[in-house]
Amino acid sequence: MQPKLFFVRLVPLLALCGCISHEATVVKDVERSRVEFENETAGRIFYETLSKQTPKYSKSESTTQVSVPIVYEHKRHVVTGTNAAFNKAVSICDANRDGKITEVEAKIYADQAN
């Protein structure tokens, strides 16, 4: 086969080849812990402290990428939701694990966070 003829046949084949690509971002969230507050002040202190800490604890990301050159590419990006950070904060703050955050527990949590 002549090199020119081979090239002429190869170019259309390459033009018809495609790439299958799939990219997904998945938000993986857990159920939010049930918690009560002793009073409004306890809730305010807890949520203010949590809002200052959220950037540190709430983001957990992982990316998985599988590809076969020219033929197939798959990319999956998993991001944890904000409930994970909330649950972690509740478990730290609620010292006696009774499901009720007191004003004293909220103040201790706020002091530890600073």
Residue 26 domain-assigned (yes or no): yes
pTM (predicted TM-score) = 0.62
Residue 3 domain-assigned (yes or no): no
Burial of 105 (0-12, 13-18, 19+ CB in 10 A): buried
Residue 87 domain-assigned (yes or no): yes
Residue 14 domain-assigned (yes or no): no
Q: What is the mean pLDDT of the chain?
A: 81
> Residue 35 and residue 43: Cα distance in Å, rounded?
10
Q: How far is the CA of 27 from the CAs of 3, 18, 69, 79, 82, in angstroms?
A: 52, 29, 28, 5, 10
> Residue 15 and residue 109: Cα distance in Å, rounded?
62
Residue 52 domain-assigned (yes or no): yes
> Residue 46 and residue 105: Cα distance in Å, rounded?
9
Residue 71 domain-assigned (yes or no): yes
Grade residue 89 by pLDDT with cuts at 50, 70 and 90.
very high
Grade residue 76 by pLDDT with cuts at 50, 70 and 90.
confident
Residue 6 domain-assigned (yes or no): no
Residue 65 falls in which region: left (phi positive, over 0), alpha (psi -120 to 50) or beta: beta
**Residue 54 confidence (pLDDT):** 55
Domain total for the chain? 1
Structural domain span for residue 71? 19-113
Q: How far is the CA of 103 from the CAs of 54, 68, 95, 108, in angstroms?
A: 20, 57, 12, 9
